[in-house]
Amino acid sequence: MHDLKNHNIIPFAEFVSTAHDQITISRYLFTIKSKLIIDLLPEIVVVDMSWALINSISNIFNSCDILTYLKLSFEKLLVLNNEKFEEVIKVKVYLCSTHFLNSVIKKAKKIKVKNNVRNAFIFSFTLVQNSKTIQELENYLINIFNIFNNQYFDRSVVYSLNTLKIKIRERNLSNLDISGERNPEKLSRDIDFKKFLKGTNENIGEKEEIIFRNSPFKTYFDELISKYKVRIQKTTSKYMINNEYFCPDLFNILENKLYLVPLWTGILINCSTIEYPRKTRLTNNPVENYFS
């Protein structure tokens, strides 16, 4: 819990365990829930990228699995059916913005491109991460796609680059730390966390694949990106100036995250009622620091 006035963390409960499986976590969360009245449930829970955590939170607080959570989110955001979402989803799940961005940075560093190209992608990714609406997200997406998938440096690429540069300045995102560096203490915690993940008996990879294939957001964005590809094919064949930002592998990092859009962007948490200074990005770093 956050003491917003004094900027302090108020410990509500602590859970120390070497087990990182859904059954253990769910049992613990159920104990917490049993001590709360419905009006005191947290509106948002910030977690790391752990399927055991994500599924446990959704199952215990919302009585639905994460795939159902995604489908209801899709109906709310794109079908504009808000009633069912509000009826079922009492607690929103959000992936820690800091850890999620760091995971993207790590993937981007594995791709052999110039630093300015990699940095352009990472800053562009932060725009998507801070999106407040689906429309805003799509506006960023088409420009990011154009920059990193258009082989030629035509007028459309110049326009896309300038558009994103302006938005990055407007949001003051240029001050973000995109190094992805972790100090020794945080690296140690990362190693421990990975050990917990490996120790689970659940087939996480299989579950993730099922969610990836069946997420309505994947279907939606796949169709959208297909239209972007056709547009580029029709307009760039006559241009011969090579685009130095051309790197589809970088865009693929973003594309492969789109199936979980409600969990790591601001489109759901932005409309929350919490009194928090940032409503497009939330992090669990204060909690992590509490255990330091």
Name the pLDDT band for 239 (thresholds 50, 70, 90). low
Report the chain's mean pLDDT, rounded to a whole number: 82
Tell me, what's the pLDDT at 70?
95
Mean pLDDT of 202-218: 79
What pLDDT score does 205 carry?
Answer: 47
Q: Are 259 and 222 in contact (CB under 8 A)?
A: no
Mean pLDDT score, 80-86: 83
pLDDT of residue 197: 45
User: CA-to-CA distance for 230 and 81, rounded, in angstroms?
Assistant: 31
Calpha distance 269→278 (Å, rounded): 10
Per cent of the chain over pLDDT 70 is: 75
3-state helix, strand, coil in the chain (%, to 5): 65, 5, 35
- Nearest-10 crossing angle of helices 66-74, 51-62: 70
Q: Is 177 helix (H, G, I), strand (E, B) or coil?
A: coil
- pLDDT beyond 80 at 288: no
Amino acid at 128: V
In this predicted structure, the answer to whether residue 175 has a pLDDT above a threshold of 60 is no
C-alpha closest to that of 66 among 22, 130, 16: 22
Helix pair 155-170, 134-149: axis angle to 10 deg? 130
CA-to-CA separations, 283 to 31, 98, 111, 143, 179, in angstroms, rounded: 24, 6, 26, 27, 17
Q: Which residue has the tokens 């690296």?
A: 187
Residue 151: pLDDT over 80: yes
pLDDT in tens, 34-64: 877 766 788 888 888 888 889 999 999 999 9
Token pair for 38 = 């419905």
> Whose CA is closest to 216, among 260, 178, 271, 181?
260
Mean pLDDT of the 6-14 span: 67
